[in-house]
Chains A and B, each alone.
Chain A
Amino acid sequence: MTSGPISEIETELAKLPPAVLEAYHDANATVKESFGEEEIGLWAKEGLTIGTQTVRSWESAIEYYNVSPEVSKFLSFPSFMQWARCGTYLAQDSPTLAVSFFKSSVSIVPNLRPQYIPRWAGLGRSLYKGTWKSSTLAAKFFEVSPDLVRNLPFWDVEVFASLIEALSYKSYDVAGECLVLGRDVLPAMGREREPFLAMSRALIDTSWREVKTCLELVPRALQQVDEAQTGRFLKLGERLAKVGLRDTSRFLSDGTQALSKVPQGSQGYILDLCDALVVITPDAVPPFLRSLDDVLNRITVSQLDSWFQHGAKLLQDNPESGIAFFKIESNTSEAMLETLSSSLELDRVKSILRLYCRALSGAGLEIYDTQELVQRNIGWIDEDMASTDGTKVFLPPVVDHYPNKQDNFSWFKVVSTHQVAHLEFGSFEYDFEKAATQFEDRRHAAEEQMLERKSAERAAAKAAYELGAQQLASANEVDADMSAGFEDPNDLSRVRTFTDIGRFLEIFENTRLGFDIFTVLEDCRLDYRIKVEYPGIKAASGRVQTETLANRPRIEDMPLQQGLVELLIHMSLDQFQDLPVAKDYKEAAEMLSSILHELRNSEANVEDTAEATLRAYEVISRVPNEQEEEDDFEEQDLEEPGDFSEEEYESLVDQLQAGMDASADGGDGESYESPDPVDYRGDFKPEMVQLMTKLQADDGEQGEAQPMTQEMLEQLLQESPEMELDAEQGDVDSDMAQFAQNIMKEAGTPPPNSEPGEGYGPLLNDDEAGGELEAREPETYVYDEWDFRANDYKPRWCIVKEKTVEEGDPAFYQESLKTYSALANHIRRQFELIMPETMRKTYRLVDGEDIDLNAAIEAWADLHMGVPPDEKIYWHRNRNEREVAVVFLLDMSASTAEAIDEGRQTVDDRDAPDDPVEYMVWLRRRREGLVRRNYKRIIDLEKEGTTLLINALESIGDTYGIYGFSGYGRENVEFYVIKDIEEGFSDKVKKRIDKITPLHATRMGAAIRHAATKLENQTAKTKIMFLISDGRPQDRGYSREGVEKEYAVHDTHMALVEARRKEIIPFCLTVDKAGHDYLKSMCGDMGYEVLADIWSLPERLPMLYRQLTANNRG
């Protein structure tokens, strides 16, 4: 046993203090179990080496022997020796270090890969700088290592150690404290650890004292900041630290504070903003965060953007003022918050206003913000002006005219009431031939005159042209182009009369003046009507008018003609007193007032406005457009001008004409310019509206009159004063062609969910010519299709292919139920309530099938006792047997892939551009995605709804089938089986639900017919077909001549009617908000519902079904 080397070593050991040998012997017994003989020797020898390194290293050796038995259990011998040697090196430098190394080894070895041991030892060693303090630090490191290693990946330990080392150059004490703090704090971090360490590292160079504070603060930060955002938050800290921000800890605490208070889900957005600030001036970040809480108390997160952008701009120009801005120590900032906090965003009140407008107009109006209108590029260009195109009302996105929300809302109301008034009181229904109520008919005569004038002009032009051509010809300089012949400018009149308004405006020589007058007078008529019909908003609209008046230009400053138009505007805004009128034209002003007063009458219609315009035009156009001296004006009171009289009017016009003729320099006046628009009245474009309506109507019933070509449209647009106005403002690119195309597109209103170019092929003439089809393959069926023009079926027109949906993951089903667990339970309960008490006897009834014996005997006994008996002595078998078979048809068209919230964008952080300006743009876009973060598609909701429904249906035992439909063309109507009506509910069905995906188009008719066939074979008493769609039916060739959308609607209607003939009750549910218009004709008197809120689909679907069947009695 006692071989030479060992005893030698033991002898050597004995020279050291006796405790060493003691320890050696104690350990030896255990170590023997792990090591071989030779190994024991090496082991023992290493201890000796350790013990003899320095004077005091025997202490290390004792520790070495002490822990050896424990350590040897975890390490193979080579690793063990490696470990031991690490200790030896450490002992060389500092025995204390080696002692702590060995001590902590016991607990570290089980958790650390053997190959890391030297690195770990090295970490400790690196902290030792030969001083007493450093050795304490290094020892401490070994002390805390077990905890660190147990909880962190080793590289994090390394990073942390190097951080401590770096810190130790500044202060050993702080480094030591941080070491301990780190042990406590770091393990709790997840992914944030890395950014945190990076941030701390960055801090050391700039403000190392912060590190400790940060370590103290970070746990709280982690609790209060969204888990997903902590990483970014700390990364931000790192960036700040790197650029030399001093009080990072302050940032950390303020940031935590601020982020903890922002509304859920917007922390990311706030961090975006911070990131943007870092790019500009990092110093601005802490003040921004500090103010944030205060700011968000006053404005909403979505409003924050404009406040922030403003500050950011300031910051770029002048950091000082920018920072003051973010500290809210500047007036600009304060004022902006003031405005923002009272401003009202359209989005917030859109739905209320939509219903309000619908109520007033009785039409299915939609509300959009004006930007949308401008983007369509169909003639409206002003983003701040409200408008309407007859089916939609456009309102500015934000109102901040007043210091409180209430007033701003009133403004919205005034503006939308005015826009709706155009519809309600018929501005767009102008009919050239319809009689006015207040005026005699003058327009026909005027039109005659105009035509005469034009033909005279034409003759003159022709003569001039011929003369020119002759001259040219005689000069022998005939240009090829010039001989192209004379173009008749009058040809256009035919185009212009395409709309009634166009025809009317054509009368005026100065169309712009005519149109301006028409606009003012019509607005005046409407404002008066509104005042009469809606006295409730008189106060609000009165205020708006007064304010508008205050901002109108002075009449005295304008040339006469424009001044008179302005006078009309003043009067239309209810100012009749103290109006400045040029002395020479007092009668003209009075005449205008009396014309205008005729329109302040509830009976007046738009034709009256037109007649009034004719008269006002005749007056105003005979006044020279010259600047008059201020002294020549006189304040007039035009409140009661007296009734309008045609005679007086005519004599006035004659008089003015005479005046014109007299002054030889008649044409010398300034050229006429349109007045400033009246903001709250918005943009009035009757010609455009009539045009679009007409184009749309023509689209529906072709054949009549020749259709409008793009060229004609362009021509027409160029002529229209509505366009001229805008061109003047310099925004319409003369790209009329594009413009006309947009309008035609708009008028054609392609189905909202059609995406041309997505591979559906051109929606042009199609397989109209094709013949009957035959179902050759199995699982295919042929159906007729209804052609409403022919008023007959197209025989064997569609092939329906029945397919079973693939099986996917059943998790979707479970997940949905979990997401909606509360709702699912509720629905189930509701369904159970209607569960039939099939064939259950009910006793003690006043009437029933037979005598309830028990009750009868009791009654008999009572009778004999002379007590009035209970008369409930019958029993009855409940016949409320519920026999319902239902088929659900899900729309699986491509459009169901549409995300429910538009404008979303899932941009990754990494795409962030470096350029600050681009960054802002990027940020804004990103934010839109972040604020609404639900990226569900319509089909997802359909699926969830189906899940809930199945869950509920299973509880009441109705027979049901669930099918999806889609397809491409009439030969390919795909009919997907999710659960066949005969099939039981199983995991397969669950799996199939997962695989419901948006596919192609929607040929509803054929799908309905096929579903009806399935239902027809059911024996249930009540049969229901439930159709869930997201838009109009449409498919390649599912139209007539490729354009008539009506075809699809009619065919679908017919299919539904057929179903009803088979005693099936059809019900359509759509999520298409624009669904009312076609659903009415599609469903007729059959039930349908348009879901106002798509999100409610999963909830609404089962409820509707319940309602639909709840009263199925006997």
Chain B
Amino acid sequence: MVEASPETEAHFTEYAIEEFLVRDEPYYRPIGDEIELFTAAYRQHIPVLLKGPTGCGKTRFVEYMAWQLGRPLAVVKEQGNELKEGEIRVPLVTIACHEDLTASDLVGRYLLDANGTRWIDGPMTRAVKAGAILYLDEVVEARKDTTVLIHPLTDHRRILPIEKTGSIIEADDRFLLCVSYNPGYQSALKDLKHSTRQRFISIEFNYPPPDIETEIIQRESGCTKEHADALAKLGDKIRNLEEHGLQEGASTRLLIYAGRLMSEGIPPRRASQVAIVWTLTDDPELQRSIEEVSSSIFE
């Protein structure tokens, strides 16, 4: 879905980070009006904060939006890197944030080479220049100094000052900052600062309702309707255990994994055991309880 040209000789395709376009339509099943909201925000240059638990489809949504926004209306898509008529480039730059992600990792740094130093743009700079959707995944994980970096990008200025080179980059018109954030963490200090938060509109994601989730699981994993149905039910039941010992409920992603194993012929109970139960918790009692639920649901 998110890769291109399987025709090529090599087994992989390499892009410069800002060249990466979502070429094929990613599967995304809208639940509410999130697509309209995102489109409107994109047009209005309003940064977007995606909130929601693990594996409920935030990243997929962004990919889908990148594809959707880059797609011209009424143009048949073909393979290839050339832009078709009416197509605009909306590359997607995804950065997974982590505790050691520094500002210069994002903005860029001087490198040494044989002739002295050379400036290398970081992914954020490149995205700003290329007019991409910059997606900072799990933004709370990043160091606080990096979150400050995005401030000038997220208000009316839409600029990225680069201290080291003494320059300021104005964002391309198509640039949009999008961050994701999982409010489920209990660590009080892993919270977004209000000065940061209030620069975004927030779209809340949650696990899809069972019927839609069934649809998603079936579509994504290729398992039978019955299995997808049962998996959605299992997911729903397991989520009931959040706060009763389980830190986070089973994500849609996990359910899909289980579904995939099933479509490969793994017996359902076993599939949900390895894909869901053991993944979710190490607590033997919880494991046993979830397995009992799973054994009630699957024959």
Contact = CB atoms under 8 A, between A and B. Distances in A.
B111 A535 contact: no
A446 interface: no
B285 A533 contact: no
A362 B233 CA distance: 12
Nearest to B142: A1113
B243 A1076 contact: yes
Contacts of A462: none
A875 to B, nearest CB: 14
Interface of B: 99, 102, 104, 109, 111-114, 143-145, 183, 186-190, 230, 233, 237-238, 240-241, 243-245, 269, 285-286, 288-290, 292-299
Interface string A1064-1095: 01010000000010000000011101101000
B189 A863 contact: no
Contact of A1107 (B186, B240, B293): B186
Top 4 nearest A-B pairs (CB, nearest first) are A355-B289, A362-B240, A1065-B188, A534-B296
Given A871-B112, A1113-B99, 15 more contacts: A351-B285, A352-B285, A352-B289, A352-B292, A359-B237, A359-B238, A359-B240, A361-B240, A536-B269, A536-B298, A859-B112, A868-B114, A871-B111, A1087-B186, A1107-B187
Nearest to A847: B104
21 contacts: A355-B244, A356-B292, A359-B237, A359-B240, A359-B293, A360-B296, A363-B240, A417-B296, A533-B297, A535-B298, A536-B294, A536-B296, A847-B102, A868-B114, A871-B112, A1076-B244, A1086-B188, A1092-B245, A1108-B188, A1114-B144, A1114-B145
A1065 B244 contact: no
Given A355-B285, A413-B292, A847 B109 contact: yes
Nearest to B164: A847
Contacts of A354: 289
Given A351-B285, A847-B102, A356 B188 contact: no
A839 interface: no
A536 B112 contact: no
A1087 B285 CA distance: 24
A537 B190 contact: no
Interface of A: 351-356, 358-364, 413, 417, 533-538, 846-847, 859, 863, 866, 868-869, 871, 873, 1022, 1024, 1065, 1067, 1076, 1085-1087, 1089-1090, 1092, 1107-1114
Nearest to B236: A362
B296 A413 contact: yes
Contact of B114 (A353, A866, A1022): A866
Contacts of A859: 112
B269 to A, nearest CB: 8
B240 A358 contact: yes
A861 to B, nearest CB: 12
Given A352-B288, A413-B292, A846-B109, A535 B297 contact: yes
B289 to A, nearest CB: 3
Contacts of B243: 1076, 1090
Most chain A beta-carbon contacts within 10 A, residue among B189, B233, B269: B189
A362 B238 CA distance: 9
B290 A1111 contact: no
A234 B204 CA distance: 72
Given A360-B293, A413-B296, A538-B299, A1110 B187 contact: yes
Contacts of B143: 1113-1114
A359 B241 contact: yes
Contacts of B288: 352
A524 to B, nearest CB: 19
Contacts of B190: 1111
A1087 B188 contact: yes
A1089 B189 contact: no
A282 B79 CA distance: 94
A349 to B, nearest CB: 9
A1114 B142 CA distance: 11
A534 B288 CA distance: 17
Contacts of B230: 535
B114 A863 contact: yes
Contact of A355 (B99, B111, B269, B286): B286
Contacts of B244: 355, 358, 364, 1076, 1092
Contacts of A1113: 99, 143-144
A356 B293 CA distance: 6
Contacts of B296: 356, 360, 413, 417, 534, 536-537
A1076 B230 CA distance: 28
Contact of B188 (A351, A358, A1024): A1024
A239 to B, nearest CB: 44
A869 B112 contact: yes
Contacts of A537: 295-296
Contacts of B144: 1113-1114
A534 B289 CA distance: 15
Nearest to A1104: B186
A80 to B, nearest CB: 75
A153 B186 CA distance: 64
A351 B102 CA distance: 45
Contacts of A1086: 188
A408 to B, nearest CB: 14
Nearest to A412: B292
B290 A359 contact: yes
Nearest to B241: A359
A364 B109 CA distance: 53
A859 B113 CA distance: 10
Contacts of B269: 536
A359 to B, nearest CB: 4
A631 to B, nearest CB: 44
B19 to A, nearest CB: 25
Contacts of A536: 269, 294-299
Contacts of B240: 358-363
Nearest to B240: A362
B241 A355 contact: yes
